[in-house]
Structure 1
Amino acid sequence: MKNERQWRDDVLRRLERLADQKANDAVKLAFLTEERIEEIDQMDLRALTELKRHGNGAVEIKLIDKVLALEKLCEIAHKGGDGAEHFFRALESSARGRDGGQDGEQEEIK
Protein backbone atom coordinates (compact mmCIF):
# COMPACT_ATOMS: atom_id res chain seq x y z
CA MET A 1 0.00 0.00 0.00
CA LYS A 2 1.26 3.47 -0.84
CA ASN A 3 2.20 5.82 1.94
CA GLU A 4 0.93 9.39 1.99
CA ARG A 5 4.02 10.81 0.30
CA GLN A 6 3.79 8.27 -2.54
CA TRP A 7 0.08 9.08 -3.03
CA ARG A 8 0.87 12.78 -3.11
CA ASP A 9 3.70 12.41 -5.60
CA ASP A 10 1.63 10.12 -7.82
CA VAL A 11 -1.38 12.45 -7.87
CA LEU A 12 0.76 15.54 -8.49
CA ARG A 13 2.53 13.77 -11.36
CA ARG A 14 -0.80 12.72 -12.90
CA LEU A 15 -2.31 16.20 -12.50
CA GLU A 16 0.75 17.72 -14.14
CA ARG A 17 0.47 15.30 -17.07
CA LEU A 18 -3.25 16.04 -17.48
CA ALA A 19 -2.69 19.78 -17.33
CA ASP A 20 -0.07 19.47 -20.07
CA GLN A 21 -1.93 16.92 -22.20
CA LYS A 22 -2.39 17.62 -25.90
CA ALA A 23 -5.60 16.85 -27.76
CA ASN A 24 -3.96 16.06 -31.11
CA ASP A 25 -4.59 12.31 -31.01
CA ALA A 26 -8.16 12.78 -29.80
CA VAL A 27 -8.87 14.91 -32.87
CA LYS A 28 -7.15 12.35 -35.12
CA LEU A 29 -9.32 9.62 -33.60
CA ALA A 30 -12.48 11.53 -34.41
CA PHE A 31 -11.65 11.41 -38.11
CA LEU A 32 -9.94 8.02 -38.25
CA THR A 33 -11.21 5.72 -40.99
CA GLU A 34 -11.83 2.01 -40.51
CA GLU A 35 -8.89 1.23 -42.80
CA ARG A 36 -6.52 2.88 -40.30
CA ILE A 37 -8.13 1.56 -37.09
CA GLU A 38 -4.88 -0.12 -35.95
CA GLU A 39 -3.43 3.37 -35.32
CA ILE A 40 -5.52 3.64 -32.15
CA ASP A 41 -2.97 1.57 -30.24
CA GLN A 42 -0.31 4.24 -30.79
CA MET A 43 -2.51 7.20 -29.83
CA ASP A 44 -2.27 9.06 -26.54
CA LEU A 45 -5.90 9.55 -25.56
CA ARG A 46 -5.52 10.59 -21.91
CA ALA A 47 -7.01 14.01 -22.67
CA LEU A 48 -10.16 12.43 -24.13
CA THR A 49 -13.17 11.91 -21.89
CA GLU A 50 -15.89 11.42 -24.50
CA LEU A 51 -16.17 11.01 -28.25
CA LYS A 52 -19.39 10.87 -30.28
CA ARG A 53 -19.81 10.46 -34.01
CA HIS A 54 -23.25 11.32 -35.31
CA GLY A 55 -24.87 9.88 -38.40
CA ASN A 56 -24.90 13.29 -40.10
CA GLY A 57 -21.08 13.50 -39.89
CA ALA A 58 -20.91 15.74 -36.84
CA VAL A 59 -18.34 14.87 -34.19
CA GLU A 60 -18.38 15.77 -30.49
CA ILE A 61 -15.17 15.61 -28.49
CA LYS A 62 -14.97 16.23 -24.75
CA LEU A 63 -11.55 16.70 -23.21
CA ILE A 64 -10.24 16.87 -19.67
CA ASP A 65 -10.51 20.22 -17.95
CA LYS A 66 -6.92 21.51 -17.95
CA VAL A 67 -7.85 24.57 -15.94
CA LEU A 68 -9.31 22.40 -13.19
CA ALA A 69 -6.14 20.28 -13.11
CA LEU A 70 -4.01 23.42 -12.84
CA GLU A 71 -6.28 24.83 -10.12
CA LYS A 72 -5.90 21.64 -8.09
CA LEU A 73 -2.12 21.76 -8.49
CA CYS A 74 -2.05 25.39 -7.31
CA GLU A 75 -4.40 24.63 -4.46
CA ILE A 76 -2.17 21.83 -3.22
CA ALA A 77 0.95 23.96 -3.58
CA HIS A 78 -0.54 26.95 -1.72
CA LYS A 79 -2.11 25.00 1.11
CA GLY A 80 1.04 23.09 1.84
CA GLY A 81 0.96 20.01 4.03
CA ASP A 82 -2.40 20.54 5.72
CA GLY A 83 -4.51 21.04 2.59
CA ALA A 84 -2.60 18.44 0.64
CA GLU A 85 -2.98 15.93 3.46
CA HIS A 86 -6.76 16.45 3.52
CA PHE A 87 -6.93 16.15 -0.27
CA PHE A 88 -4.98 12.88 -0.32
CA ARG A 89 -6.93 11.39 2.56
CA ALA A 90 -10.15 12.14 0.70
CA LEU A 91 -8.70 10.73 -2.51
CA GLU A 92 -7.60 7.52 -0.79
CA SER A 93 -10.97 7.17 0.91
CA SER A 94 -12.72 7.63 -2.42
CA ALA A 95 -10.49 5.01 -4.06
CA ARG A 96 -11.26 2.52 -1.28
CA GLY A 97 -14.97 3.15 -1.80
CA ARG A 98 -14.75 2.45 -5.55
CA ASP A 99 -12.57 -0.62 -5.07
CA GLY A 100 -14.90 -2.08 -2.46
CA GLY A 101 -12.57 -1.15 0.41
CA GLN A 102 -13.41 -1.82 4.00
CA ASP A 103 -15.24 1.36 4.97
CA GLY A 104 -16.35 2.76 1.61
CA GLU A 105 -16.90 6.21 3.12
CA GLN A 106 -15.93 9.19 1.06
CA GLU A 107 -14.54 12.34 2.62
CA GLU A 108 -15.58 15.67 1.15
CA ILE A 109 -12.82 17.65 -0.55
CA LYS A 110 -12.92 21.33 0.38
Structure 2
Amino acid sequence: MTGREKKFCSLFLGSGNSELAAEKAGYTGDCEQKGEELICRPEISAELERLSRLREKSLANMAAAGYQRLAFGSICDAISLLYKSDPSKEDLEGMDLFLVSEIKRPKDGSMEIKFFDRLKALEKLGAGGEHETGAKQLFDAISNSARAVNDKENGN
Protein backbone atom coordinates (compact mmCIF):
# COMPACT_ATOMS: atom_id res chain seq x y z
CA MET A 1 0.00 0.00 0.00
CA THR A 2 1.39 3.39 -0.99
CA GLY A 3 1.79 6.36 1.31
CA ARG A 4 -0.99 8.16 -0.54
CA GLU A 5 -3.33 5.21 -0.05
CA LYS A 6 -2.53 5.14 3.68
CA LYS A 7 -3.19 8.87 3.84
CA PHE A 8 -6.51 8.31 2.05
CA CYS A 9 -7.47 5.67 4.62
CA SER A 10 -6.67 7.97 7.52
CA LEU A 11 -8.53 10.90 5.98
CA PHE A 12 -11.52 8.77 5.03
CA LEU A 13 -11.80 7.38 8.53
CA GLY A 14 -11.86 10.92 9.90
CA SER A 15 -14.39 12.36 7.47
CA GLY A 16 -16.40 9.45 6.07
CA ASN A 17 -16.22 11.27 2.71
CA SER A 18 -14.32 9.28 0.07
CA GLU A 19 -14.22 12.16 -2.43
CA LEU A 20 -12.78 14.62 0.08
CA ALA A 21 -10.32 12.02 1.41
CA ALA A 22 -9.08 11.26 -2.13
CA GLU A 23 -8.67 14.96 -2.90
CA LYS A 24 -6.79 15.70 0.34
CA ALA A 25 -4.62 12.61 -0.15
CA GLY A 26 -3.39 14.13 -3.42
CA TYR A 27 -5.41 12.34 -6.07
CA THR A 28 -6.39 14.36 -9.14
CA GLY A 29 -9.17 14.06 -11.67
CA ASP A 30 -12.51 12.60 -10.62
CA CYS A 31 -11.87 12.28 -6.89
CA GLU A 32 -15.38 10.99 -6.24
CA GLN A 33 -14.82 8.00 -8.50
CA LYS A 34 -11.25 7.48 -7.27
CA GLY A 35 -12.45 7.49 -3.66
CA GLU A 36 -15.14 4.92 -4.44
CA GLU A 37 -12.62 2.75 -6.29
CA LEU A 38 -10.23 2.91 -3.36
CA ILE A 39 -12.75 1.87 -0.72
CA CYS A 40 -13.79 -1.08 -2.90
CA ARG A 41 -10.26 -2.49 -3.00
CA PRO A 42 -9.81 -5.34 -0.50
CA GLU A 43 -6.47 -4.07 0.86
CA ILE A 44 -7.88 -0.56 1.39
CA SER A 45 -11.00 -1.98 3.03
CA ALA A 46 -8.81 -4.12 5.31
CA GLU A 47 -6.69 -1.09 6.25
CA LEU A 48 -9.82 0.96 6.98
CA GLU A 49 -11.10 -1.83 9.19
CA ARG A 50 -7.75 -2.09 11.00
CA LEU A 51 -7.59 1.67 11.59
CA SER A 52 -11.21 1.70 12.71
CA ARG A 53 -10.54 -1.00 15.30
CA LEU A 54 -7.49 0.90 16.58
CA ARG A 55 -9.45 4.13 16.79
CA GLU A 56 -12.38 2.47 18.51
CA LYS A 57 -10.06 0.77 21.00
CA SER A 58 -8.30 4.06 21.69
CA LEU A 59 -11.58 5.92 22.20
CA ALA A 60 -12.90 3.12 24.40
CA ASN A 61 -9.73 3.27 26.52
CA MET A 62 -10.02 7.05 26.84
CA ALA A 63 -13.68 6.76 27.86
CA ALA A 64 -12.87 4.04 30.39
CA ALA A 65 -10.09 6.18 31.88
CA GLY A 66 -12.50 9.11 32.18
CA TYR A 67 -15.15 6.96 33.85
CA GLN A 68 -12.51 5.61 36.25
CA ARG A 69 -11.56 9.16 37.21
CA LEU A 70 -15.24 10.02 37.72
CA ALA A 71 -15.91 6.89 39.76
CA PHE A 72 -12.79 6.88 41.93
CA GLY A 73 -11.32 10.39 41.74
CA SER A 74 -10.75 12.73 44.65
CA ILE A 75 -12.99 15.70 45.39
CA CYS A 76 -10.43 17.36 47.67
CA ASP A 77 -9.62 20.21 45.27
CA ALA A 78 -13.31 20.99 44.78
CA ILE A 79 -13.88 21.04 48.53
CA SER A 80 -10.90 23.35 49.05
CA LEU A 81 -12.38 25.62 46.36
CA LEU A 82 -15.48 26.02 48.53
CA TYR A 83 -13.35 27.55 51.28
CA LYS A 84 -11.54 30.07 49.06
CA SER A 85 -13.36 33.37 48.95
CA ASP A 86 -11.78 34.64 45.74
CA PRO A 87 -9.55 32.01 44.07
CA SER A 88 -6.98 33.28 41.59
CA LYS A 89 -6.62 31.95 38.07
CA GLU A 90 -3.42 30.17 39.15
CA ASP A 91 -5.28 28.51 42.05
CA LEU A 92 -7.96 27.23 39.68
CA GLU A 93 -5.46 26.00 37.07
CA GLY A 94 -3.68 23.97 39.75
CA MET A 95 -6.83 22.20 40.87
CA ASP A 96 -8.17 18.90 39.59
CA LEU A 97 -11.83 19.72 38.99
CA PHE A 98 -12.51 16.83 36.60
CA LEU A 99 -15.30 15.51 38.83
CA VAL A 100 -17.13 18.85 38.86
CA SER A 101 -20.12 19.12 36.54
CA GLU A 102 -21.27 22.60 37.59
CA ILE A 103 -20.19 25.53 39.74
CA LYS A 104 -22.65 28.27 40.72
CA ARG A 105 -22.16 31.41 42.73
CA PRO A 106 -25.64 32.63 43.74
CA LYS A 107 -26.27 36.28 44.56
CA ASP A 108 -25.78 35.68 48.28
CA GLY A 109 -22.05 35.09 47.64
CA SER A 110 -22.00 31.40 48.50
CA MET A 111 -20.76 28.73 46.11
CA GLU A 112 -22.53 25.60 44.89
CA ILE A 113 -20.58 22.74 43.36
CA LYS A 114 -22.26 19.80 41.65
CA PHE A 115 -20.37 16.61 40.88
CA PHE A 116 -20.81 14.01 38.18
CA ASP A 117 -22.70 10.93 39.33
CA ARG A 118 -20.21 8.31 40.54
CA LEU A 119 -22.79 5.52 40.35
CA LYS A 120 -23.49 6.24 36.69
CA ALA A 121 -19.74 6.20 36.00
CA LEU A 122 -19.49 2.82 37.74
CA GLU A 123 -22.43 1.53 35.69
CA LYS A 124 -20.71 2.64 32.48
CA LEU A 125 -17.48 0.95 33.57
CA GLY A 126 -19.42 -2.21 34.38
CA ALA A 127 -21.22 -2.17 31.03
CA GLY A 128 -17.87 -2.22 29.23
CA GLY A 129 -18.16 -2.83 25.50
CA GLU A 130 -21.68 -4.23 25.41
CA HIS A 131 -22.89 -1.74 22.82
CA GLU A 132 -21.33 -0.92 19.47
CA THR A 133 -20.40 2.68 18.89
CA GLY A 134 -22.00 4.74 16.14
CA ALA A 135 -18.61 5.04 14.42
CA LYS A 136 -18.26 1.25 14.24
CA GLN A 137 -21.77 0.86 12.88
CA LEU A 138 -21.05 3.49 10.21
CA PHE A 139 -17.79 1.82 9.23
CA ASP A 140 -19.46 -1.61 9.05
CA ALA A 141 -22.17 -0.19 6.76
CA ILE A 142 -19.56 1.42 4.48
CA SER A 143 -17.45 -1.74 4.46
CA ASN A 144 -20.45 -3.92 3.58
CA SER A 145 -21.42 -1.51 0.78
CA ALA A 146 -17.89 -1.58 -0.61
CA ARG A 147 -17.88 -5.39 -0.61
CA ALA A 148 -21.26 -5.46 -2.36
CA VAL A 149 -20.06 -3.06 -5.08
CA ASN A 150 -16.86 -5.05 -5.48
CA ASP A 151 -18.78 -8.34 -5.73
CA LYS A 152 -21.17 -6.82 -8.29
CA GLU A 153 -18.26 -5.57 -10.42
CA ASN A 154 -16.61 -9.01 -10.29
CA GLY A 155 -19.87 -10.74 -11.27
CA ASN A 156 -20.43 -12.50 -7.93
Is 1:16 equivalent to 2:68 in the alignment? yes
* Structure 2 letter corresponding to 1:56: D
**1:27 alignment partner in structure 2:** 79
Which of 82, 101, 109 is 1:49 aligned to? 101
Unaligned runs of 5+ in 2: 1-13, 15-53, 137-156
Which of 55, 64, 82 is 1:3 aligned to? 55
* Structure 2 letter corresponding to 1:41: E
Contact 2:69–2:99, Cα closer than 8 Å, also in 1: no
3-state DSSP of counterpart to 1:3: helix
What is the total number of aligned residue pairs between the two structures? 83
Contact 1:30–1:51, Cα closer than 8 Å, also in 2: no
Unaligned runs of 5+ in 1: 94-110
3-state DSSP of counterpart to 2:114: strand
Shift of 1:44: 0.4
Contact 1:52–1:61, Cα closer than 8 Å, also in 2: yes
Listed one character per residue, the Cα deviations across residues 10-48 of structure 1 (whole Å, up to 9, x for unaligned) are 2111111111112111122233233x5131121000011
Shift of 1:56: 2.3
Shift of 1:57: 3.9
Shift of 1:62: 0.4
**1:65 alignment partner in structure 2:** 117
Contact 1:51–1:60, Cα closer than 8 Å, also in 2: yes
TM-score, length of structure 1 as denominator length: 0.63
Larger radius of gyration: 2
3-state DSSP of counterpart to 1:43: coil
Higher helix residue share: 2
Shift of 1:58: 3.3
TM-score, length of structure 2 as denominator length: 0.46
